Amino acid sequence: MAGIYLHIPFCKQACNYCDFHFSTSMKMKVDFVQAIIQEIELRKDVFANEFISSVYFGGGTPSLLSKEELDTIFEKLYKSFKIDADAEITLEANPDDLTFEKIQQLKDSPVNRLSIGVQSFRDEDLKYMNRAHTTIEALNSIKMAQDAGFQNITIDLIYGTPGMSNEDWKHNLRKSFALNIPHISSYALTVEEKTPLYYQILKKNIGPVDEQQSADQFKILMDEMLRYGYEQYEISNFCKDNLYSKHNSSYWKKDHYLGLGPSAHSYFGNSRLWNVSNNVKYIKALSASKLPLVKENLNTQDMYNEYVMTSLRTKWGCSLIEIEKDYPMSFSHYFKAQIKSHEMNGYIIENKGVYTLSETGKLIADRITSDLFFI
């Protein structure tokens, strides 16, 4: 099974923490849609013999696409690829875009899963992050989507925001639980270089991020999710009723995926490709029927490190049997030697050759993964 990711690089305004590729100008949106249609045409043979199990519209803000633009893209996708009848079709949306009319349009489209960028149910946090929506808009968008019949909904929440107490964070989580949302992705606020947040903190215009606060709130996140019946199937992802994200799970399980749109990445096992992160260059290349991408051939070390990094973060874990099957013997010897101390310290649980993170291990997942990298 394979997946398709489409990057829609437009936003109403810039969130101060975001380092993804986007533009706040809509001037090129029409040309962009034509360009991504052309890219689909040029890459339609990539999965000629495979069925597509997931399609994911990310960004940017895909909910800024009009009904006509979305219909045009879907028509081309379904003509060009074998998309499963029960494929997961996700569209990322901002709460302020999800009017009653917009939700009805999405319900009438192939979209069957909404990813709503809530980030917080506190206006103080939303203002800090320079989000375009309010708490009321977030609550209303979720309720309207549920009333329209969307059952598979996920929201994003951010913790570690300066000024957010542990009680504030619990309030955020319990707001989510009260809405009976089946899937939640939650991440620590991260300060990426060259973002507005980075410069605001550098100039001391706003307070810095506290790593201990983030660690404490991650522990609260895990405890509260467990208490309210959510399964942590990946470090940052929680669900009820086995409603795992098919698309994200495909990344973690080494399934192949095709990335379309500026800055989008593709993965085909032993190679990775990424498109140019520039709307003008992307549109210009495709208007000349050229693919604006760079290809990287992955060596054995790259593939091992990627497998360890992605698999260890999940409930399915990192399999020694798979490492022995797919990589030279030196890699399995190295893995066993490096993971031994973490297992003895209680950070790793081993069961029939599969290694997963313990609850305490999840708190230092990045450090453990780094120790396992083959350098």
Q: Across the chain, which distance is largest between two alpha carbons, in Å?
A: 58
**Best CA proximity match to 213, nearest among 221, 203, 223:** 221
- Residues 334-373: tens digit of each pLDDT: 999 999 999 999 999 999 999 999 999 999 999 999 999 9
Domain boundary among 251, 266, 288: 251
What is the tens place of the pLDDT at every residue in 186-221? 999 887 788 777 778 777 777 788 889 999 999 999
Could you tell me the two tokens for 244?
Answer: 């795992």
Residue 353 in tokens = 């050759």
Q: Answer whether residue 81 is part of any domain.
A: yes
Q: What is the pLDDT of residues 262-320, one digit of tens each?
A: 999 999 999 999 999 999 999 999 999 999 999 999 999 999 999 999 999 999 999 99
The answer to whether residues 310 and 230 belong to one domain is no
Q: How many domains does the chain have?
A: 2
Residue-by-residue DSSP string for 71-134? HHHHHHHHHHSEEEEEEEEEEEE-GGG--HHHHHHHHTSS--EEEEEEE-S-HHHHHHTT-S--
pLDDT in tens, 43-73: 999 999 999 999 999 999 999 999 999 999 9
User: Does 230 share its domain with 312?
Assistant: no
Domain carrying residue 179: 2-251
Q: How many CB atoms lie within 10 A of CB 340?
A: 12
End-to-end CA distance of the chain: 31
> CA-based Rg of the chain, rounded to a whole angstrom?
21
pTM of the model: 0.94
Give the Cβ contact number of residue 27 at 10 Å.
10
* Residue 67 to residue 114: CA distance in whole angstroms: 15
If asked whether residues 199 and 317 sit together in one domain, one would say no
Q: Are residues 181 and 241 in the same domain?
A: yes
Contact 295, 271 (CB under 8 A): yes
- The answer as to whether 265 is a domain residue is no
Backbone angles phi, psi at 128, to 5 degrees: -60, -40
CATH number at residue 113: 3.20.20.70
